[in-house]
């Protein structure tokens, strides 16, 4: 019996294998092309310090991007993460200033971050407020709170050993990059191997079918926002550590870099589809692109144009592939 049992699965089907990973394979090819181009035309791009720099920059996008991937797969969106990072940094710094030990302050910031996420998820799940609207309100409110708390002046954190987290390295690898990669492994596992992860896909793919299958839809929705809120707070702590201060103007526009990375990575804005590996590639692609444009000496304004075009092309490829998939149904 044992040999017949999983024979359905053992039958290796190359076409099935490739079609399931077409997105990741395409992205990997795009990254290779980008790297080849920059290696030739941008001096210093392929040096080790520069690659480590890319990794460090990637971390400030990547850590939140794991949570954002879950949010998008569940059919939602969270645009409040940029201001959330700034708010978390300012809160940490002002707690530290008033004498709270840094580890305790960090814990408070992360827990509060998760609670803010819960709030978004709660309004979405129980009052059907679109998550775009709730997080738009938070986008305004969190940045505003950070500015009020700090008078829009950076609050310096006096503990210099704290700077190791954001600016330091471990075995030569930037600490934030290590945190990002550890979390990547954890989130890949959550997304593919846990009941919660698969339920996120089910809710985003067809919330009504998920509900009728007794999947706790409301709880799933609240959790994805809570996770993303906690990750935004963590990124805020790392950013405060890197800057040595809590800055209400930090992480401006970060939310769009993150959403762009997730979407470039093949996650559907309509929910139900996406992978952590795709997001990792999306994060690396965008970090390398940004870094390369700087090294090439491209005018900062023109950089915006290039990034805009790249994101648009990626989203179009995504939509076209969804249509193809629907066509087969």
Partner 1 sequence: MTEPLVQMRGISKAYPGVVALRDVDFAIGRGEVRALLGKNGAGKSTLVKILAGVERPDEGSILMDGAPVSLRTPMDGIKAGIATVHQELSVVPELSIAENVFLGRWPKRGGGIDWRAMEREAHAALEVLGLDLDPRQPVARISVAQRQLVEIARALRQGARLLILDEPTSSLVAQEAETLIRVVRRLAEQGTSVIYISHRMDEIRRVAQSLTVMRDGRHIATTAVGDVTNRQIVEMLLGSTQAEGEVVRSAPAKRSPLLSIRGLEVAPRIQDASFEIRAGEVLGIAGVLGSGRTELLQAIAGLRTIDSGSMTLSGSDFRPASLRDARANGIFMTPEDRRGEGAVMMLGIDENLVMASWGSVSRGGVIDRAAMREKVTASIRALGIKLAHPSEPLGNLSGGNQQKVVIGKALNAAPRILLLDEPTRGVDIGAKRQIYQLMRKAAEEGLAVVFVSGEIEEFCEVCDRVLILRGGSITAEVEGEAIRTETLSELTTGEQGVH
From the CB of 17, what's the least distance to partner 1, in Å? 9
Distance CA 154, CA 96 (A): 13
Determine if 272 is a binding residue for partner 1 (CB under 8 A).
yes
Smallest distance from partner 1 to CB 116, Å? 24
Q: Using CB under 8 A, which of 152, 195, 313, 320 touches partner 1?
A: 195
Picking from 61, 88, 64, the residue whose alpha carbon sits closest to that of residue 157 is 88
Q: Is 194 in the site for partner 1 (CB under 8 A)?
A: yes
| 156 torsion bin: left (phi>0), alpha (psi -120 to 50), beta (else) | beta
Which of 214, 300, 301, 324 binds partner 1 (CB under 8 A)? It is 214
Task: Identify which of 113, 104, 62, 59 has the alpha carbon closest to the alpha carbon of residue 85.
Answer: 113
Q: Site for partner 1 (CB under 8 A): which residue of 110, 121, 273, 278?
A: 273
User: By CB under 8 A, which span of 13-21, 34-42, 103-111, 300-308 interacts with partner 1?
Assistant: 13-21
What's the token pair of residue 152?
Answer: 């829009």
- When asked if residue 185 is in the footprint of partner 1 (CB under 8 A), the reply is no
Listed in sequence order, the residues at least 6 apart from 218 whose beta carbon sits closer than 8 Å to its beta carbon are: 125, 126
- Per CB under 8 A, the segment of 126-134, 162-170, 189-197, 295-303 that binds partner 1 is 189-197
CB of 281 to partner 1, least distance (A): 21
Is 213 a binding residue for partner 1 by CB under 8 A? The answer is yes
Q: How many residues bind partner 1 (CB under 8 A)?
A: 33
What b/e string do you get for 139-171 counting C-beta neighbours within 10 Å, with b at 16 or more?
beebbebbbebbeeebbebeeeebeebbbeeee
Helices 81-97 and 254-264 pack at an angle, to 10 degrees, of 130
Quote the least distance from Cβ 305 to partner 1, whole Å.
Answer: 34
Which residues contact partner 1 by CB under 8 A? Answer: 5-9, 11, 13, 16, 20, 193-196, 198-199, 201-202, 205-206, 208-215, 272-273, 325-326, 328-329
């Amino acid at each position: 019996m044992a040999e017949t049992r999983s024979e359905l699965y053992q039958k290796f089907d190359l076409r099935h294998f490739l079609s399931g990973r077409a997105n990741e394979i395409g992205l990997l090819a795009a990254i290779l092309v980008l790297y080849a181009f920059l290696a030739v035309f941008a001096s210093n791009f392929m040096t080790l310090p520069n690659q480590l720099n890319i990794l460090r920059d990637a971390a400030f996008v990547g850590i939140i991007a794991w949570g954002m991937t879950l949010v998008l797969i569940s059919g939602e969106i969270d645009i409040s993460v940029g201001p959330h990072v700034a708010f978390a940094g300012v809160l940490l710094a002002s707690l530290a200033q008033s004498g709270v030990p840094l580890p305790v302050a960090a814990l408070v910031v992360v827990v509060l971050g998760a609670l803010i996420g819960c709030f978004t998820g709660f309004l979405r799940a129980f009052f059907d407020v679109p998550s775009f609207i709730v997080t738009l309100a938070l986008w305004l409110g969190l940045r505003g709170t950070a500015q009020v708390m700090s008078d829009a002046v950076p609050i310096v954190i006096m503990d210099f050993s704290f700077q190791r987290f954001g600016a330091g390295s471990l075995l030569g690898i930037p600490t934030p990059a290590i945190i990002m990669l550890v979390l990547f492994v954890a989130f890949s596992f959550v997304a593919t191997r846990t009941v919660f992860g698969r339920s996120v896909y089910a809710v985003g793919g067809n919330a009504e079918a998920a509900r009728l299958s007794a999947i706790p839809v409301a709880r799933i929705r609240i959790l994805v926002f809570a996770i993303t809120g906690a990750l935004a707070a963590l990124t805020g702590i790392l950013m405060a550590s890197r800057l040595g201060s809590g800055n209400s103007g930090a992480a401006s526009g970060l939310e769009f870099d993150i959403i762009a990375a997730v979407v470039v990575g093949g996650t559907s804005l309509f929910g139900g589809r996406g992978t952590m590996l795709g997001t990792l590639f999306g994060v690396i692609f965008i970090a390398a692109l940004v870094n390369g444009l700087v090294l090439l000496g491209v005018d900062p304004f023109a950089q915006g144009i290039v990034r805009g075009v790249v994101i648009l092309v990626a989203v179009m490829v995504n939509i076209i592939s969804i249509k193809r998939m629907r066509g087969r149904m």
